[in-house]
Amino acid sequence: MSTMAITVSISEAEKRLGEFADRAIEGEEILIAGKSKLLVLKPIEQADPVPLRPEGYFEDCYDSAQAAEDTRLAARSARRIIE
């Protein structure tokens, strides 16, 4: 299905945004002209959410004693920022 794009000014888009949004959702290409630039009004595809890891997923990846030592050393090696 090929539809022609329509071009409207920013002030026209402000007045009829709901109508243009509905048309864009239906697949029509809506161009908004302002300050010698063109903007495109179109729906975006949302990415699938990243699944959460179950509690304890990384439990066997770290040795708690080593992690505590790394934390202790990191705290001592912090540098003071001089302004």
Q: Point out which residues pair with 31 in neighbouring strands.
A: 7, 40
pLDDT of residue 21: 95
pLDDT confidence of residue 51: 87
pLDDT at residue 78, rounded to an integer = 58
Residue 72: the pLDDT is 82
- Of 38, 11, 41, give the one whose Cα is nearest residue 26: 41
Which stretches of the chain drop beneath a pLDDT of 50?
1
Per-domain residue ranges of the chain:
6-41
**pLDDT tens track for 57-80:** 877 777 878 888 888 887 776 565
30 phi and psi angles, rounded to 5 deg: -110, 120
Q: Tell me, yes or no, if the pTM score tops 0.75.
A: no
